[in-house]
């Protein structure tokens, strides 16, 4: 592995971690000595990389630092294309358009050979996308989650019985055929999951729910025994 490749790998490793990582762990993952790692970090910092930390404390990449386009391998390009195409076919119209726009921005800064790989990749995502009503509901739910606002739902269960719920929306799950809202339900006083295609009515409110969304997600993951994200 060349030194330039190693430096890019180091940036990628740091990007995967949200908290400081010890120099020993970084050196072990890269297969280099601790002295070499310290030199590599100093070199990246001198080139403008937002790496914070010090020996004995650990290192973390500051949020917002952009990796150079050469960082993308052909496998990563294919993953980006496949993921963007899946989102474009599975989510609401606005989010689908955002996925296509994001891919276009990536293509604009890629070197010619990688741009060709992006545009000619043979990978395609076939999904059963939402209808217009579901798409509108998804867009409304996403806005409510970002603003941490309560939603009033008229929900129809599997037997066709309707109930009105006031919920705190905090996550959306996109599956092959259905989309599911995870929320705290005031009526049931607990976490509940609502299929988007069974929502008969949806009214956004201006009432902020009393917990931070990140805290709700953490509690929900613990309750459902969902492993943490890598």
Delimit the domains of the chain by residue range.
Answer: 3-61, 69-120, 132-224
- Compute the Cα dihedral for 160, 161, 162, 164 and give only its sign: negative
Share of the chain above pLDDT 90, in %: 40
* pTM of structure: 0.62
CATH of region 3-61: 1.10.10.10
Q: What are phi and psi of 48, to 5 degrees?
A: 105, 0
Alpha-carbon distance of 86 to 83, in angstroms, equals 5
Nearest to 129 by CA among 169, 178, 162: 178
- Indicate if the pLDDT at residue 85 is higher than 70: yes
HEC-encoded secondary structure of 95-155: HHHHHHHHHHHHHHHCCHHHHHHHHHCCCCCCCCCCCHHHHHHHHHHHHHHHHCEEEEEEE
Alpha-carbon distance of 163 to 187, in angstroms, equals 10
For the record, the structure tokens of 5 come out as: 């490749």
- Indicate if the pLDDT at residue 4 is higher than 80: no
Confidence bin at 228 (pLDDT 50/70/90): low
Q: Mention the CATH class of domain 132-224.
A: mainly beta
| pLDDT value for 196 | 94
Alpha-carbon distance of 141 to 82, in angstroms, equals 25
């Amino acid at each position: 592995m060349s030194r330039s490749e190693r430096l890019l790998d180091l940036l990628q490793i740091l990007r995967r971690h949200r908290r400081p990582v010890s120099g020993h762990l970084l050196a072990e993952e890269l297969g280099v000595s601790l002295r070499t790692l310290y030199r590599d970090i100093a070199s990246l910092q001198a080139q403008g990389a937002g790496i914070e930390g010090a020996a004995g404390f650990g290192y973390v990449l500051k949020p917002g630092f952009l990796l150079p386009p050469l960082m993308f391998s052909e496998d990563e390009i294919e993953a980006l294309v496949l993921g963007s195409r899946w989102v474009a076919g599975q989510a609401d119209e606005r989010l689908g358009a955002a996925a296509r726009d994001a891919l276009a921005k990536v293509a604009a800064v890629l070197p010619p050979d990688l741009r060709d790989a992006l545009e000619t990749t043979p990978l395609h995502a076939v999904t059963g996308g939402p209808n217009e009503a579901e798409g509108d509901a998804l867009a409304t739910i996403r806005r409510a989650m970002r603003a941490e606002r309560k939603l009033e739902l008229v929900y129809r269960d599997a037997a066709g019985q309707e109930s009105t719920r006031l919920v705190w929306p905090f996550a959306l799950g996109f599956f092959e055929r259905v989309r599911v809202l995870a929320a705290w339900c005031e009526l049931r006083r607990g976490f509940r999951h609502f299929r988007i295609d069974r929502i008969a009515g949806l009214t956004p409110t201006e009432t902020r729910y009393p917990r931070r969304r990140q805290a709700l997600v953490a509690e929900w993951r613990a309750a459902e025994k969902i492993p943490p994200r890598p």
